[in-house]
Amino acid sequence: MSIVNVKLQARPASPPAAIAGRPALQKRFRTEFGHESGLYRAPGRANLIGEHTDYNDGFVLPAALELSTWVAAAPRKDRILRFKSLLGGDALEFNLDDPAPSPRHDWSDYVRGVAVKLQVAGFPLEGADMLIDSDVPIGSGLSSSAALEVSVGFALLDILGVAVDRVTLAQACQRAENEFVGMHCGIMDQFISCLGAAGHALLLDCRSLAYRQVAIAPSVRLVVCNSMVHHKLASGEYNKRRADCEHGVALLTPLLPGIRALRDVTLAQLVAHQAALPEVTFRRCRHVVTEDERVLKGVAALEAGDVAEFGRLVNASHRSLRDDYQVSCRELDILAELAWGMEGVLGSRMMGGGFGGCTLSIVRTEAVKRFTSDMAKGYTAATNLTPEIFVCSPGDGVSVVAPSESAA
């Protein structure tokens, strides 16, 4: 992995040679908590195509990244979950036996929410000490929240000596974000963090949770460009877009009996019933319906070795997110449009919830070095901002780096 100007809320990504141990985190854990720990990691993700389709029961094509959240963890003899992040703040703790756990409305809700939902799912958690670090940029559309949830959940289950079912873990982490944190996300981010495979993206049917691996040609790299902006309206607008989609389904259901989500609506049906929908609702629905089509066409293109066609679909995805779903912003559009004009770039689009964060570009391997240089210069000239640029390959999902003594 190569990085240009990594600097914001997360620590710089470790080079591959350093990933196999993170001994510094375990050493810091001994200093903080006075005993030994196991070590766990869960990745962030890049969604190649399929944006805002997961909560509409649709299709997505994410890939796990080498960027990860790391948790050093060890069991306690009481029912206290005590944890601290190296990204800032004091150690926090709560009692697993609290009969009415409530959110604090800060980052700790992701940790506590996972513990709460694992207990609801029937796992008899033990108390634990945890020290957390991450090189997934926060708030940038690379799913730092899911990486935190999955790494914590996996660590808590491994401490129990439980054989972790990764789909069950993904579902519990999604419920934590939906029901405890209050972010109404789909399951894609948690799913890929649990089930990613090196060298592959994952085609996921978000209704059935059926999935299959899709190889990514070694002739291309995934280049993530962080716009360095995070507009405050992002989370509220995300929930509004979900409500827009649900409103569209409610209006279409009397006209198309049997539909449960936009996943069940074809573009021809949507266009035929356009008059039944407010203009904004129609545009939101049109993005989701056409994006599902792009995901399936994109998988077919990758499996046929046609990376150029895949790139064209990625570009179309950005235009749809910009024009119909209206979740892009000036900075994301600049990044995408700069990439579209560069040699060796097959496609580029905004990624994540929108209103800031990152773009993903599909770049031929031989063009990556020039791309990163030209992109950094071009974006800075247009915005006076210095982007973070990550050159990535698809990585593995959550894993034990070093088991805790209780689970060894």
Position 407 in a domain: no
Confidence band (pLDDT; 50, 70, 90) for 235?
Answer: low
Residues 163, 228: one domain? no
pLDDT for the residue numbered 353: 84
Lowest mean pLDDT among 35-39, 182-186, 312-316, 354-358: 182-186
- Tell me the pLDDT tens digit for each residue of 339-395: 999 999 999 999 988 899 899 999 999 999 999 999 999 999 999 999 999 999 899
Task: Name the domain count of the chain.
Answer: 2
Residues 288, 343: one domain? yes
Residues 239, 161: one domain? no
Residues 203, 236: one domain? no
CB-CB contact of 85 with 73 (8 Å): no
Where on the phi/psi map is residue 256: left (φ > 0), alpha (ψ -120 to 50), or beta? beta
Residues 180, 261: one domain? no
Residues 182, 229: one domain? no
User: What token pair was written down for 210?
Assistant: 């059926």
Residues 370, 331: one domain? yes
pTM above 0.85, yes or no: yes
Helix (H) or strand (E) holding 39: strand 38-49
User: What token pair was written down for 328?
Assistant: 């892009």
pLDDT for the residue numbered 233: 61
Residues 376, 232: one domain? yes
Position 154 in a domain: yes
Position 5 in a domain: no
pLDDT for the residue numbered 11: 35
Whether the per-residue pLDDT at 321 is higher than 60: the answer is yes
pLDDT for the residue numbered 101: 95
Whether the per-residue pLDDT at 396 is higher than 70: the answer is yes
Report the mean per-residue pLDDT for the chain.
91
Whether the per-residue pLDDT at 7 is higher than 60: the answer is no
Position 26 in a domain: yes
Confidence band (pLDDT; 50, 70, 90) for 6?
Answer: very low
Residues 27, 47: one domain? yes
Rounded CA separation 15/4 (Å): 13
Position 208 in a domain: yes
- Tell me the pLDDT tens digit for each residue of 105-124: 999 999 999 999 999 999 99
Structural domain containing residue 169: 10-216+395-402
Residues 121, 261: one domain? no
Position 1 in a domain: no
Position 2 in a domain: no
The residues annotated with a catalytic role in the active site are 189
Residues 46, 73: one domain? yes
- Tell me the pLDDT tens digit for each residue of 164-182: 899 999 999 999 999 999 9
pLDDT for the residue numbered 234: 62
pLDDT for the residue numbered 408: 47
CATH number of domain containing 370: 3.30.70.890
Q: 21 or 195, which is more confident?
A: 195
Helix (H) or strand (E) holding 32: helix 23-33
Q: Are strands 200-205 and 80-85 parallel, antiparallel or unpaired?
A: unpaired
Proportion of the chain above pLDDT 70, given as a percent: 92
Residues 382, 317: one domain? yes
